[in-house]
Amino acid sequence: MKILAIESSGLVASVALWADGCIMGEFSTNFKKTHSQTLLPMLDKMMNTLGMDVSECDAIAVSAGPGSFTGLRIGSATAKGIGLALNLPIIEVPTVDAIAYNLFGTDRIVCPLMDARRQQVYTGLYTFEGSEMKVLCPQKAVSIDEILEEVNALDRPVIFNGDGVAVYKDAIAEKCSVSWCIAPAHAAVQRGGALAALAADNWKNKQECVVSARDHKPDYLRLSQAERELAAKMALREKTEEQKLR
């Protein structure tokens, strides 16, 4: 079983190849270049280094969202293109789940924080029991105060990771009442290797995460700015029309 993983939900661009329980290759960059410039060259270089071809893969794992709208679209389009061309299934992995999986084996509650802008974070709560990651709270978009209240209510030590930690570190220090720490750099942000490993586990245990390339689409969790602006304009237009009818 070989799984090609594509991660583009945030600033990190990452690809990895999982084969029979081993991460055979991983290539990541955390730099301000568009994923449209980096993903395919990284993928090509990784496969060439391994002396393999993408056609040898059995499935493609993709970070399915939430995250950067542009980044998710690029990653999904790349996965769909390869999947359609080679008739490969897509393993959709929730972005926040994959970030949490970086910390596999910790005895602390894992709380990933992705900066969602507009005073919100994409987050969730996870714990590890033996060889399994348990989802205590599925990924969602909430305020930092709301997720910290949930963390405090669990009354257990917690470890934070994700790009939102740097943004909300002061809020964590002020409002987190349980023992807390921040993940080290190598486990702090998205990684293709973690995505691939979790996808392999989901392939065995969560077949609902496996879809055809044709059916795959990103899970944004909330509307894009353009969609929000359109919704606001429609609401204003409806309100204006109602007032004219009075």
**Each residue's pLDDT tens digit, 67-109:** 999 999 999 999 999 999 999 999 999 999 999 999 999 999 9
Residue range 103-187 forms a domain whose CATH class is: alpha beta
Residue 228 has pLDDT above 60, yes or no: no
* CA angle at 193 for the pair 188 and 196, rounded to the nearest 5°: 125
Evaluate whether 2-95+190-228 and 103-187 have a shared fold. yes
Element (H, E) at 157: none
Q: Which residues contact 82 (CB under 8 A, 6 or more apart)?
A: 4, 54, 60, 88, 213
Q: What homologous superfamily is domain 2-95+190-228 in, according to CATH?
A: ATPase, nucleotide binding domain (3.30.420.40)
Which pLDDT score is estimated for 131?
87
- Tell me the pLDDT tens digit for each residue of 104-151: 999 999 999 999 998 899 999 999 998 899 999 999 999 999 999 999
Query: Which residue, 190, 196, 187, 184, is CA-closest to 25?
Result: 196
Residues 199/211, Cβ–Cβ less than 8 Å:
no
- Name the strands in the sheet holding 180-182, side by side, starting at the edge strand that comes first in the sequence: 132-142, 120-129, 109-117, 158-161, 180-182
Q: Is the pLDDT of residue 246 over 70?
A: no
pLDDT at 226: 47
DSSP designation for 54: G
Q: Cα separation of 199 and 98, whole Å?
A: 9
Cβ atoms < 10 Å from Cβ of 180: 18
- Positive or negative: CA dihedral 83, 86, 191, 209: positive
Would you state the pLDDT for residue 227? 46
Selected residue with higher pLDDT from 220 and 239: 220
Q: Are β-strands 2-7 and 12-19 bridged in parallel, bridged antiparallel, or unpaired?
A: antiparallel
Q: Compute the average pLDDT of residues 26-38.
A: 90
Contact 92, 209 (CB under 8 A): yes
Mean pLDDT (the chain) is: 92
More confident residue, 7 or 227: 7
Query: Domain spans of the chain?
Result: 2-95+190-228, 103-187
pLDDT at 34 (0 to 100): 87
Q: Cα(27)–Cα(16) distance, rounded to whole angstroms?
A: 6
